Amino acid sequence: MRRSPRLFPSVLLALCLAGCGRGQGPLPVALVGDEDAFRTAGARLSPAAQVLRAATIEGLVGFDAEGRVVPGLADRWIITDDGEAYIFRLRDGVWPDGSRITAEEAVAALNKAIAGLKGTALALDLAGIDQIRVMADRVVEIDLVSPNPDLLTLLAQPELGLLHEKRGSGPMGLQRDGLNAVLTLIPPEKLGLPAQEDFAGRSRSLMLEVSPVGRAVNRFNDGYVDVVLGGKIDSLPLAGIGGLTRGNVQLDPVIGLFGLMVENGAGFLSQPANREALALAIDRDALLAAFNVGGWQPTTRVVSAGVEGDLGTVGERWLGMAQEQRRALAAERVARWKAAGNASPVVSVAMPAGPGSQLVLERLRADFAAVGITLTRVDEGARADLRLVDSVARYGRATWFLNQLSCAVRKAVCSPTGDQRLTEALGARDPRQRSALLGEAEAEMTAANGYIPIARPLRWSLVRSNVTGFAPNPWGWHTLPPFAVRPK
- In this structure, is residue 426 part of a structural domain? yes
Q: Which pLDDT value is given to residue 244?
A: 54
pLDDT grade, residue 44 (50/70/90)? confident
pLDDT tens-digit series, residues 103-151: 999 999 999 999 999 999 999 999 999 999 999 999 999 999 988 999 9
- In this structure, is residue 15 part of a structural domain? no
Structure-model confidence comparison of residues 16 and 279, the more confident one:
279
Q: Which pLDDT value is given to residue 427?
A: 86
Q: Are residues 143 and 283 in the same domain?
A: no
- In this structure, is residue 267 part of a structural domain? yes
pLDDT of residue 177 exceeding 90, the answer is yes
Count of the separate structural domains present in the chain: 3
Mean pLDDT of 11-34: 64
Q: What is the CATH number of the domain that holds 467?
A: 3.40.190
Q: Which pLDDT value is given to residue 411?
A: 82
pLDDT of residue 12 exceeding 80, the answer is no
Q: Are residues 383 and 485 in the same domain?
A: no
**Residue 433 neighbours by CB under 8 Å, 6+ apart:** none
- In this structure, is residue 94 part of a structural domain? yes
Q: Which pLDDT value is given to residue 241?
A: 56
Q: Among the listed ranges 28-37, 63-72, 76-85, 237-246, which one has the minimum average pLDDT value?
A: 237-246
- In this structure, is residue 14 part of a structural domain? no
pLDDT tens-digit series, residues 361-401: 999 999 999 999 999 999 998 999 999 999 999 999 999 99
Buried b (16+ CB within 10 A) or exposed e, 223-234: eebbbbbbbbbb
Q: Are residues 309 and 381 in the same domain?
A: yes
- In this structure, is residue 11 part of a structural domain? no
* Alpha carbons 167 and 154: distance in angstroms, whole number: 21
Buried b (16+ CB within 10 A) or exposed e, 303-340: bbeebebbeeebeeeeeeeebeebbebbbebbeebeee
Mean pLDDT of 254-279: 97
Q: Are residues 420 and 381 in the same domain?
A: yes
* Alpha carbons 236 and 293: distance in angstroms, whole number: 10
Q: Which pLDDT value is given to residue 23?
A: 60
Q: Are residues 81 and 136 in the same domain?
A: yes
The average confidence (pLDDT) of the chain is 91
Q: State pTM to two decimals.
A: 0.91
Q: Are residues 95 and 234 in the same domain?
A: no
- In this structure, is residue 5 part of a structural domain? no
Q: What percent of the chain has pLDDT over 70?
A: 94
pLDDT of residue 443 exceeding 90, the answer is yes
Residue 102 in 3-state DSSP?
coil
Domain boundary among 168, 187, 206: 168
Q: Which pLDDT value is given to residue 11?
A: 32
pLDDT of residue 355 exceeding 90, the answer is yes
- In this structure, is residue 2 part of a structural domain? no
pLDDT grade, residue 17 (50/70/90)? very low
The DSSP line for 40-69 is --SS---HHHHHHHHHHB--SEEE-TTS-E
pLDDT tens-digit series, residues 302-315: 999 989 888 888 99
Q: Are residues 291 and 237 in the same domain?
A: no
Mean pLDDT of 325-340: 98
Q: What percent of the chain has pLDDT over 90?
A: 80
Q: Are residues 81 and 194 in the same domain?
A: no
Q: Which pLDDT value is given to residue 3?
A: 39
Backbone dihedral region of 267: left (phi > 0), alpha (psi from -120 to 50 degrees) or beta? left
Q: Among the listed ranges 8-12, 293-297, 368-372, which one has the minimum average pLDDT value?
A: 8-12
Evaluate whether 307 touches 230 at the Cβ level (below 8 Å).
no
Q: Are residues 350 and 483 in the same domain?
A: no
pLDDT tens-digit series, residues 51-102: 999 999 999 999 999 999 999 999 999 999 999 999 999 999 899 888 999 9
Q: Which pLDDT value is given to residue 442?
A: 96
* Alpha carbons 325 and 397: distance in angstroms, whole number: 33
Q: Are residues 281 and 216 in the same domain?
A: no
Residue 109's domain comprises: 58-168
Q: Which pLDDT value is given to residue 200?
A: 77
The DSSP line for 402-431 is HHHT-TTT--SS--HHHHHHHHHHHH--SH
pLDDT grade, residue 179 (50/70/90)? very high
Amino acid at 466: N
pLDDT of residue 4 exceeding 60, the answer is no
Mean pLDDT of 339-363: 97
Q: Which pLDDT value is given to residue 25?
A: 85
* Alpha carbons 140 and 61: distance in angstroms, whole number: 13
Q: What is the CATH number of the domain that holds 143?
A: 3.90.76.10
Q: What is the CATH number of the domain that holds 414?
A: 3.10.105.10
Q: Which pLDDT value is given to residue 19?
A: 36
pLDDT of residue 265 exceeding 50, the answer is yes
Q: Which pLDDT value is given to residue 245?
A: 62
**Residue (of 465, 470, 472, 422) closest to 444 by Cα position:** 422
